[in-house]
Structure 1
């Protein structure tokens, strides 16, 4: 067995076509309350998709289910990996966010040739990075470095 990279699942992300409809659907299952914090140019910086600078934007809503955060994202434009995913797969799980052993993650990603799909900086939150672990794990892993306040 390799080094422990994934220490805890923090968040489950679902890409959706209509965020308002999706929030209402989850509320019917008792999920909520919801917090809206849209990823627009007012709060996002240094955005990249597949290594290219892209000013993608999205609508976002968050709710807790136990100690795991549920994040819904509706792409606003065609520039993000969220839009690619929605076009190719329809609504569904895009990624999970993890607490990670950063050194071990970099070692495993390097050894296995895992590229970064998308990254950016969200003011008031911190830096986020999506690793393309689809061939290995069947999903994308997100890591983030929260702003310390």
Structure 2
């Protein structure tokens, strides 16, 4: 198990929840001396097929990405609909939400983690792939996001 449960040990992304993506994006751009990225809005519910805690949700979010070498910083401003983003932001305030790994075999990895009492919180589709947030808070003290890109 050289690369552990996920088949990789490379953290691809750190996700941070924010209330005002424009303001926080500018703060990061100024801090790093880079251009502020434009934010995107997650796909509409019929495309994203987002499920939160086992039920469909209309949740969407504004996302801004900073590519920082081998690591991507993702800022997330969620809408008011039920999601792991909204729940975490409401309970904990702004700040780190997840670390992400690019994996292969999404269904198998979800099943494997669920077998270790790490529940699926939210999953959905994006152009070119899919994601899943796993509740690894008890064990790892952070949510893990799985990213699987189409080949």
Q: TM-score, length-normalised on structure 1?
A: 0.86
Residue 50 (1) aligns with residue 56 (2)? no
Q: CA 1:116 to 1:2, structure 2 compared with 1: closer, same or farther past 3 Å?
A: farther
Partner Cα separation in structure 1 for residue 143 and residue 103 of structure 2? 14
Shift of 1:11: 0.5
Shift of 1:45: 2.0
Shift of 1:30: 1.2
Aligned to 1:66: 69
Partner Cα separation in structure 1 for residue 34 and residue 14 of structure 2? 14
Q: CA 1:117 to 1:128, structure 2 compared with 1: closer, same or farther past 3 Å?
A: same
TM alignment of 1:1-149, pairs within 5 A:
4-6=4-6, 7=8, 8-30=10-32, 32-33=34-35, 34-41=37-44, 44-100=47-103, 102=105, 105-106=109-110, 108-122=112-126, 124-148=127-151
Q: TM-score, length-normalised on structure 2?
A: 0.85
Partner Cα separation in structure 1 for residue 145 and residue 33 of structure 2? 22
Unaligned runs of 5+ in 2: none
Query: Number of aligned pairs?
Result: 147
CA contact (8 A) 2:103 2:148 kept: no
Higher share of residues assigned strand: 1
